[in-house]
Amino acid sequence: MKWLWAQKTAPDRLWAGLDIPVHHNARALFDISIITQVGNGRSTLFWSDRWLHDCCLKDIAPEVVSKVPKRVIRSRTVEQALTNLQWVRDISGGLSFVGLIEYLMLWDLLRVFALTEAMDQHRWRYDSSGVFTSKSAYRQFFQGSTTFEPWRRI
């Protein structure tokens, strides 16, 4: 997960563009653990990051997101998507009735959203400093488990 944090907070680093394999449970924990405040929208992914009312668009409009190609989901930033309504052109194929309702809801939410000149801010929700720590991530993985012995958990 440290690599995911480094990719999100230091995208200008040489290794940031590498596709590092991450277990789906670790990815899911990381995705819900980041609080993003969008500034210029350059380091926040439009379709997959939690940036709009602390939700990702997959949660708000799953039918719409299902019509967006995966390569676009993994690469489109908020800045790119909002420029000239590129997010609308990202949707391919017809929408169902539910998809159309989600689309209109997204349209209403996004038409009033404005970017600023400030950089995007990403904070780790489980540490008071807002910076990722392996210790806080480890605690979240085992939150709610019962310890019988120091080396065994259920």
Distance CA 87, CA 105 (A): 14
Q: How many CB atoms lie within 10 A of CB 123?
A: 16
Start-to-end C-alpha separation, the chain? 22
**C-beta atoms surrounding 68 within 10 Å:** 20
What's this model's pTM, rounded to 2 decimal places? 0.81
Q: How many domains does the chain have?
A: 1
pLDDT digits (tens, 9 = 90+) for 70-126: 999 989 999 999 999 999 999 999 999 999 999 999 999 999 999 999 999 999 988
* Full domain range(s) for residue 66: 2-12+21-153
For 48-69, the pLDDT digits (tens) are: 999 999 899 999 999 999 999 9
Average pLDDT (136-140) is: 84
Give pLDDT, residue 152.
Answer: 61
State the residue for tokens 């720590």: 133
The answer for residues whose C-beta is within 8 angstroms of residue 36's C-beta and 6 or more apart is: 44, 49, 50, 51, 120, 121, 122, 123
Token code pair at residue 36:
């993003």
pLDDT for 153 beyond 60: no
